[in-house]
């Protein structure tokens, strides 16, 4: 089984979900995407995560991001779990949960790690661009809930740096100064970055965040 790396094409698949059958690439369309997996339904940490994602739906929509969850359980189990999520997390799950009973998608995305559990998926996150390429991967241990504020921050950075010749420094957040890409010459800076820049070192040049 090949390990997926940044820049690889996100494998396409057809699957049953709580919102009907989807062709993953077709479903993504020209949107960004988050695919995140859960070891099984009715697990406590994942219940809080799915509730949080539902509460963040406006933020994902603003960024043209579609979200899909995955578990190795079936559709009937998923729908029962959604009722619990809505009840306990005081929200409404409004995104598809993929049923992966045959582990077809889990295998495509290398989500089954025998050293963790030979039957259940590990808790992976994939951020996928409109070009269907993998932009970010994170795998969490079962005991640690995912930080969706961090995923929003990363998506903001990915979308900004996809269209401007900048990178984002440590702990960057929306509105902070950015690093000018090393490929940009000093002569190009005035045209590319009319807000100005500050040279800290020849290799470290900062500029206000482009629009």
| Residues 210, 199: Cα–Cα separation, whole Å | 17
Helix axes 44-55, 75-89, angle to 10 degrees: 70
- Close Cβ partners of 29 (under 8 Å, ≥ 6 residues apart): none
Tell me the backbone φ, ψ of residue 82, rounded to 5 degrees: -55, -40
Q: Is-catalytic flag, 46? A: yes
Kindly tell me the sign of the dihedral angle through the C-alpha atoms of 118, 79, 54, 49: negative
Catalytic residue among 4, 15, 34, 46: 46
Q: Could you list the active site residues? A: 46
């Amino acid at each position: 089984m090949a390990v997926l790396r940044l820049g690889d094409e996100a494998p396409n698949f057809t699957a049953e979900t709580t919102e009907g059958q989807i062709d993953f690439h077709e479903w993504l369309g020209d949107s960004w995407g988050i695919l995140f997996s859960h070891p099984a339904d009715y697990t406590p940490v994942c219940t809080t995560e799915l509730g949080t994602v539902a509460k963040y739906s406006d933020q994902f929509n603003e960024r043209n991001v579609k979200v899909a969850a995955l578990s190795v359980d079936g559709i009937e189990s998923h729908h029962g779990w959604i009722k619990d999520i809505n009840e306990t997390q005081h929200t409404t799950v409004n995104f598809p949960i993929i049923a992966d009973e045959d582990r077809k998608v889990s295998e495509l995305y290398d989500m089954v790690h025998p050293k963790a559990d030979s039957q259940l998926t590990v808790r992976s996150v994939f951020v996928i661009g409109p070009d269907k390429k993998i932009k970010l991967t994170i795998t969490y241990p079962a005991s640690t809930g995912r930080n969706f504020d961090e995923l929003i921050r990363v998506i903001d950075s990915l979308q900004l740096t996809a269209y401007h010749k900048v990178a984002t420094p440590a702990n960057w957040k929306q509105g902070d100064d950015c690093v000018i890409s090393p490929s940009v010459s000093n002569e190009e800076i005035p045209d590319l970055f009319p807000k100005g820049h500050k040279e800290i070192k020849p290799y470290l040049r900062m500029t206000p965040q482009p629009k």
